[in-house]
A and B are shown apart, each in its own frame.
Chain A
Amino acid sequence: MDMVAGRVWADERRPVRHIDWVLLLLTVVLTIVGLVLLHSISATTPDEAAFWLVRVMKQGATAGLGSLVVVLIASFDYRFFKVYAGFIYLGALVALVLVKIPGIGATDPSGVAQRWFAIAGIQITPSEITKVCAIVMLAAILSEIRAPEPALGDLVRVLAVAAVPLVLVFIQPDIGTSIVLAAIVVGMLIVAGTRLKHLLVLTATGLVLIGLAFQLGVIQDFQRERLTAFLDRANVSEDARYNLDQSLIAVGSGGLFGRGYLKGTQTNLDYVPRQHTDFIFTVAGEEFGFVGAMFVLLLYALILWRAIRIATLSKDPFGTLVAAGIASMFAIQMFVNVGMVIGIMPITGIPLPFLSYGGSSILVSFAAIGMLESIHMRRLS
Chain B
Amino acid sequence: MGAQIPEVRSTDELRERWMKPEVISGSEILLRSLLLEGVDCVFGYPGGAVLYIYDAMYGFEDFKHVLTRHEQGAIHAADGYARASGKVGVCIATSGPGATNLVTGIATAYMDSVPLVVITGNVNSSLIGSDAFQEADITGITMPITKHSYLVKDVKDLAGIIHEAFHIANTGRKGPVLIDIPKDVSANKTLFEPSTEPVILRGYNPRTVPNKLQVDRLAQAIQEAERPMIIAGGGVVYSGGHEALFEFVGKTGIPITTTLLGLGAFPSGHELWTGMPGMHGTYTSNMAIQQSDLLINIGARFDDRVTGKLDGFAPHAKIVHIDIDPAEIGKNIATDIPIVGDVKTVLEIANKEVGRAERADAWRDQIKQWKQEKPYTYTDSDEVLKPQWVVELLNDSTKGEAIVTTDVGQHQMWAAQYYKFNQPRSWVTSGGLGTMGFGFPSAIGAQMANPDRLVISINGDGGMQMCSQELAICAINNIPVKIVIINNQVLGMVRQWQELIYENRYSHIDLAGSPDFVKLAEAYGVKGLRATNKEEAERAWQEALDTPGPVVVEFVVRKDENVYPMVPQGATIDQMLMGDAEE
Q: Are A and B genuine complex partners?
A: no
